[in-house]
Structure 1
């Protein structure tokens, strides 16, 4: 229960810290750097070498790709049928198609499903969401917006990204049956412990809500897709078609139900894909997702 209560508390702390003018404007950037370069690699070394590798673990990873593919298909078709601008279509594809599976997802999954749930969430994030946001999302942004990225640049970004490097190392250790040395486990435990307060404070610092834009219909199209439709699709596919149940199903659906990814919105903004809409999808989506995730948690039992 305490872990669950800490989630809104630290999110609120981050939101309130926005009002303190003496704090550096780059505070959220520094916290994100700590999460990216220290926490995510530590989580990979702490959990992944001990995951019992099974074929069915490919399904949680696939959920991230299913979400983005359907976003591209649905909003791409609607955009053409309803004569939306390319910037609106591209924004919805990217921002609604990518879930915040790490900075928001990890703390929530840990609070709801414990350490075993985090192992599955790590696979979804590193083998799914991260690769998508670093590659296919950039391609979509280039198609619908301004600015181009060379394939070589995209590949280099993925292969040199520290969390991905440690993800590959940890999976290699798992396959070779090499355990993380006991000597470094206590520091890894302390770093992992910092995930929830640092990640949610950082998210809170970045949440911006433009109340005048709340009535924007495109905002609610994106959030309906992200918070309700795609987790329902994942549940139907995995439970009814693949007969999946238990923790893998629960974590897959909950991660699919996370709010839009902050990094995805940044990509949309940097390519001039409706910056106001991209910001709103994250700013409204994150607080709202706490209610919808509670609903999904109850539904999954």
Structure 2
């Protein structure tokens, strides 16, 4: 129950930040097209700084063991999501199948998940969340983008993975953490301060996305509600049942399950544009799954409390 209450309180805080982003967009503080600048700032500077900051802690064998477990469980959870999404969409028309699968399979762990995990579990939880996001980025570029493109390009896959800022931050962080490299405060403090921008900036971008979307038009897409049901209900439920059957409990599986239960990945819209897929459905899945998460995530946390 305590986890559910804390989750609800945190989601409400995030909602207020989302409203700020929506109001700023509607009132012309910045134009909808300018949110891409904020998104780039988040992707290339703020999120990597937050990840790097989470590794600037004293080495602890128990935490390192948990980190390795998180990599494994994150891979399991993400693969489960992809398999469930594939099973649901296999009879979908070919021209819609790829983007529906992507919108169902991958969660918005970076935008919505990082702020939530940091509020619930502190810097240790954020360390585990970085492992999930590492596997997320590897799989969304290696499998997700390839599925949308319709053909594999190994060079492009490797390029996308090895140049991903968050993955580079994890690699640098692991080197600092495992080698126990001392970081001077004159460097660590600015990195931490920039990383602290992650929550408000990601929520402002989310709010701008909602405000710039044509919500009534998005609701008319016939595939939207099936996508929302799979992303927000079916995949989290299947993953939770699997973890429960495996007898998993504690902080690590809880972090992984919360990240897997987040809304549709914001990257879905970008990939839809890049590979000429249904942009309207992609935007609708991101917007409405984010709105539904305001209610669903606290309820899911309540279920986690009872099961794990």
**TM-score, scaled relative to structure 2:** 0.86
Higher relative contact order (CA 8 A, sep 6+): 2
Separation (CA, whole Å) in 2 of partners of 1:27 and 1:121: 28
- The Cα shift of 1:284 comes to 0.7
Which residue of the partner structure matches residue 72 of structure 2? Answer: 59
**In structure 2, what is the equivalent of residue 102 of structure 1?**
110
Q: CA RMSD in A?
A: 2.2
In the aligned structure 2, how far is the partner of 1:165 from the partner of 1:114?
22
1:73 counterpart (72, 87, 92) = 87
Would the aligned equivalents of 1:60 and 1:123 in 2 still touch at CA under 8 Å? no
Residues 1:47 and 2:54 aligned together: yes
Change over 3 Å in CA distance of 1:182–1:283 after alignment to 2: same
CA distance in 2, matches of 1:170, 1:255: 21
Of residues 122, 141, 151, the one that matches 1:114 is 122
**Secondary structure class of the residue paired with 1:23:** coil
Q: Does 1:226 align with 2:231?
A: yes
Provide the rounded CA distance (Å) in 2 between the counterparts of 1:288 and 1:272. 27
Structure 1 unmatched runs, 5+: none
The CA deviation string for residues 222-269 of structure 1, in whole angstroms up to 9 with x for no partner, is 11111111111221222221x211111211111111000111232123
Q: Which moved more, 1:199-208 or 1:149-158?
A: 149-158
1:27-42 map, 5 Å: 27-42=34-49
What CA distance in whole angstroms lies between the structure 2 residues aligned with 1:179 and 1:70?
Answer: 44
Structure 2: stretches of 5+ with no match in the other structure: 1-5
1:141-174 CA deviation, whole Å, 9 max, x = no partner? 012xxxx673212211221232221211112233
The 2-side partners of 1:179 and 1:292 are apart by: 41
Q: How many equivalent pairs are there?
A: 289
Q: Are residue 210 (structure 1) and residue 219 (structure 2) matched?
A: no
**TM-score under structure 1 normalisation?**
0.87
Question: In the alignment, which of 263, 271, 283 is matched to residue 279 of structure 1?
Answer: 283
